[in-house]
DNA sequence: GTAGCCTGACCAACCGGTCAGTAGTGTGGT
DNA sequence: ACCACACTACTGACCGGTTGGTCAGGCTAC
């Protein structure tokens, strides 16, 4: 997707990784329009002109790169593992668990992570970039919806609309970053367990629910 | 709350109502920082200086007024009716139903409504205004959580954490405005029904669930 | 020497906000 | 009937400051 592979964790191109990390943090904190290039530069420790030496495309390309990275993380940690699971119920459990942990673990590393930025700030993208981002998001939604449809074919799904159920599940998960406090009463594991209980409780038919360890 | 009562529906002070409506639409569309005063003025049909004749407090006060109006709508359509219902299960049904309909009906009137703006853009407020908005939001969360606690005392609640459940319910509802299409396959009533099914399915214990007409 | 990294000075455009002034409208006095 | 006054609604010009972005050149390191 990006010309550079995983810029956030690169050991070479250290400056580039610093820029992406700083921009991601500031975009999450103050929003895309509320963050200036000078602010990003200051956090990295160089001049604004220095930023444009590494990011020739400017601010919009920065946003696109960060969103792409967030979706890359979703791909590797949630979507790809899910594709390897044939059983629908097991796949749904995997999706919920991995996505919740992706968000809660991200908020532990000093605030916000690039995974949550993808949701908002789509307006700051160029039409071409926006189409790419939107399509990747749609792929994820369809993964969830297809899993629910398969669950229905297996006779395990309650009498609910799959589309509404898929979006509701997404709403629960994406909302976590707004209220979860890693130093609070509940650990990330507890939150993941509770979300799992809630989601499966409303989706699976009672007789098919079974305890999981 | 505001020095002017319900500026969005006032027949007098027509210009003021126009300004609030235009600003709410633009803030939802492009974000607070992404919207300029000139843009608001242009949509209303007057000059930027003309805006400051009606909104002496400037941009921040505009945002605060719009958020307050959104919370006013939540108060009158969701919170106040809920307080009148002593039974916890019935009260929960009322909250879900009214809040979902408030959001779906709002998106029918030409895009976004001020109810959804309250969630984001809190960073644009002054500390004093932010405290007021945050406190009103907290009141609503506690209404839901208290209702769940009472449900637990009644023995109707499944074995779930009330806080996580309350936030998850909020996540489902607030996320609706991001995907609901009033011209789409599902009507507002159908969406409300589906959400109700999903939410109650994960919260109420099976033996206590009963069909509602 | 030359290639990559980075700076300081600079640019037009735009930001939120101010202000003097004006057109129109109604009011009161005579 | 007429004028003087006041008030509201609004404009156009303008302010200092900041924005995203550029560019010529300097400083290393190989």
Question: Residue A1: which pLDDT band, with cuts at 50, 70 and 90?
Answer: very low
Residues facing residue A157 across a β-bridge: A204
A-B interface: how many C-beta pairs under 8 angstroms? 112
Range in A4-8, A159-163, B47-51, B94-98 the model is least confident about: A4-8
* Side-chain-facing half-sphere of B69: CA atoms under 13 Å: 22
- CA distance to partner chain B, nearest, from residue A2 (Å): 26
pLDDT score of A11: 54
Long-range CB contacts for residues B143-148, cutoff 8 Å, separation at least 24? B143/B79, B143/B82, B143/B83, B143/B95, B144/B92, B144/B95, B144/B169, B144/B170, B147/B82, B147/B88, B147/B91, B147/B92, B147/B95, B148/B88, B148/B92, B148/B203
Q: Which of B168, B192, B197, B208 to mutate to test the interface with A (most CBs of A within 10 A)?
A: B168
- Tens digit of each residue's pLDDT (9 = 90 or more) over A60-75: 999 999 999 999 999 9
Q: Which residue has the tokens 């805006």?
A: B51
Question: Residue B5: which pLDDT band, with cuts at 50, 70 and 90?
Answer: low
pLDDT score of B1: 43
pLDDT score of B11: 54
Chain B residues within 8 A of A107 when measuring between CB atoms = none
pLDDT score of B6: 67
Question: Residue A110: which pLDDT band, with cuts at 50, 70 and 90?
Answer: very low
Whether A175 and B174 lie within 8 Å, measured CB to CB: yes
Chain A residues within 8 A of B161 when measuring between CB atoms = 186, 190, 194
pLDDT score of B136: 96
- pLDDT reading at A44 higher than 60: yes
A164 touches chain B (CB under 8 A): yes
Buried b or exposed e, range A146-181, using 16+ CB within 10 angstroms:
ebbbbbbeeebbbebbbbbbbbbbbbbbbbbbebbe
pLDDT score of B2: 46
Q: Pick the residue with more confidence: A35 or B11?
A: A35
Phi, psi dihedral angles at B204 (to 5 degrees): -85, 145
Question: Residue A205: which pLDDT band, with cuts at 50, 70 and 90?
Answer: confident
| Nucleic acid strand C within 7 Å of A53 CB | yes
Whether A30 and B194 lie within 8 Å, measured CB to CB: no
3-state secondary structure chain B: CCCCCCCCCCCCCHHHHHHHHHHHHHHHHHCCCCCCHHHHHHHHCCCHHHHHHHCCCCHHHHHHHHHHHHHHHHHHHHHHHHHCCCCHHHHHHHHHHHHHHHHHHHCCCCCCCHHHHCCCCHHHCCHHHHHHHHHHHHHHHHHHHHHHHHHHHCCCECCCCHHHHHHHHHHHHHHHHHHCCCCCCCCHHHHHHHHHHHHHHHHECHHHCCCCC
pLDDT score of B121: 87
Q: What is the C-alpha to C-alpha distance for residues A41 and B76, in angstroms, rounded to an integer?
A: 46
- pLDDT reading at B110 higher than 50: no
Token pair of B99 as six digits: 């809040």
Question: Residue B3: which pLDDT band, with cuts at 50, 70 and 90?
Answer: very low
A111 touches chain B (CB under 8 A): no
- pLDDT reading at A99 higher than 90: yes
Range in A78-82, A198-202, A203-207 the model is least confident about: A203-207
Q: Which nucleotides of C are covered by protein (CB under 7 A)?
A: 5-9, 14-20
**Cβ pair B137, B71 in contact under 8 A:** yes
CA–C1' nearest nucleotide, residue A60: D20
**What percent of chain B is predicted at pLDDT more than 90?**
76
**What percent of chain A is predicted at pLDDT more than 70?**
89
Q: Pick the residue with more confidence: A115 or B161?
A: B161
- Tens digit of each residue's pLDDT (9 = 90 or more) over A139-187: 999 999 999 999 999 998 999 999 999 999 999 999 999 999 999 999 9
pLDDT score of A33: 95
Q: What is the mean pLDDT of chain B?
A: 89
Chain A residues within 8 A of B31 when measuring between CB atoms = 31-33, 121, 123
pLDDT score of A2: 46
| Nucleic acid strand D within 7 Å of B4 CB | no
Say which of A160, A195, A200 has its CB closest to residue B164: A195
| Nucleic acid strand D within 7 Å of A99 CB | no
Token pair of A95 as six digits: 């999706």
pLDDT score of A10: 59
Question: Would you tell me how many other CB atoms lie within 10 Å of the CB of residue A77?
Answer: 16
CA–C1' nearest nucleotide, residue B34: C15
Chain A residues within 8 A of B194 when measuring between CB atoms = 160-161, 164-165
Range in A125-129, B10-14, B109-113, B204-208 the model is least confident about: B109-113
pLDDT score of B212: 56
- CA distance to partner chain A, nearest, from residue B188 (Å): 12
Whether B168 and A175 lie within 8 Å, measured CB to CB: yes
A204 touches chain B (CB under 8 A): no
Q: Which residue has the tokens 């979902």?
A: B100
B31 touches chain A (CB under 8 A): yes
Domains and CATH numbers, chain A: 58-208 (1.10.357.10)
């Amino acid at each position: 997707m990006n010309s550079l592979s995983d810029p956030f964790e690169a050991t070479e191109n250290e400056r580039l990784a610093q820029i992406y990390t700083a921009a991601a943090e500031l975009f999450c904190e103050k929003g895309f329009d509320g963050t200036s290039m000078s602010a990003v530069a200051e956090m990295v420790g160089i001049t604004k002109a220095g930023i444009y030496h590494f990011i020739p495309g400017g601010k919009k390309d920065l946003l696109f790169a960060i969103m792409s990275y967030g979706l890359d993380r979703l791909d590797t940690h949630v979507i790809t593992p899910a594709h390897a699971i044939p059983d629908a119920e097991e796949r749904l459990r995997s999706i919920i668990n991995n996505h919740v942990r992706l968000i809660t673990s991200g908020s532990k590393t000093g605030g916000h992570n690039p995974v949550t930025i993808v949701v908002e700030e789509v307006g700051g993208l160029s039409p071409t970039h926006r189409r790419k981002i939107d399509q990747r998001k749609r792929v994820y939604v369809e993964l969830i919806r297809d899993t629910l449809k398969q669950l229905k074919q297996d006779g395990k799904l309650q009498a609910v609309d799959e589309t509404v159920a898929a979006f509701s599940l997404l709403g629960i998960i994406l909302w976590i970053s707004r209220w979860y406090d890693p130093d609070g009463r509940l650990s990330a594991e507890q939150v993941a367990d509770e979300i799992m209980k809630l989601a499966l409780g409303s989706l699976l038919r009672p007789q098919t629910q079974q305890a999981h360890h």
